[in-house]
Amino acid sequence: GENVEQHPSTLSVQEGDSAVIKCTYSDSASNYFPWYKQELGKRPQLIIDIRSNVGEKKDQRIAVTLNKTAKHFSLHITETQPEDSAVYFCAASTGPPLTGGGNKLTFGTGTQLKVEL
């Protein structure tokens, strides 16, 4: 099955700096890569995702890049703010088709991001 590794486990940056979180996956059939942000005591929140037919996607201060050859993808947060402090999870799946075990998301181990003033 799919295995997703995530680094670093903790990341501390100064407000205004950039933060980068990296993930690698093992299943070359994976074609969907979402990122979730989880604040303490809250549900995981989908913040950005990328499909295998593109190499980069950007949404305001966050961007995700994908290298299918190397089987790794990264989350980039620019101009970090204190409210970016949270745990970030990457994930991978082969979703759709709508049925089958390959649809399930496999999560990385998470990165605790702390943005310091």
Partner 1 sequence: SAVISQKPSRDICQRGTSLTIQCQVDSQVTMMFWYRQQPGQSLTLIATANQGSEATYESGFVIDKFPISRPNLTFSTLTVSNMSPEDSSIYLCSARDRRGYEQYFGPGTRLTVT
Residues that bind partner 1 (CB under 8 A): 32, 34, 36, 42-46, 49, 51, 89, 95-98, 101, 103-105, 107-110
- According to DSSP, the residues that pair with 47 across neighbouring strands are none
**In the complex, minimum distance from the CB of residue 44 to partner 1, in angstroms, rounded to a whole number:** 5
Spatial distance between the Cα atoms of 54 and 41, rounded to a whole number of angstroms: 33
Cβ-based nearer residue to partner 1, 20 or 102: 102
**In the complex, minimum distance from the CB of residue 98 to partner 1, in angstroms, rounded to a whole number:** 5
Q: Identify each DSSP E strand in 28-94 by its residue range.
A: 32-38, 45-51, 56-59, 62-67, 72-77, 86-92
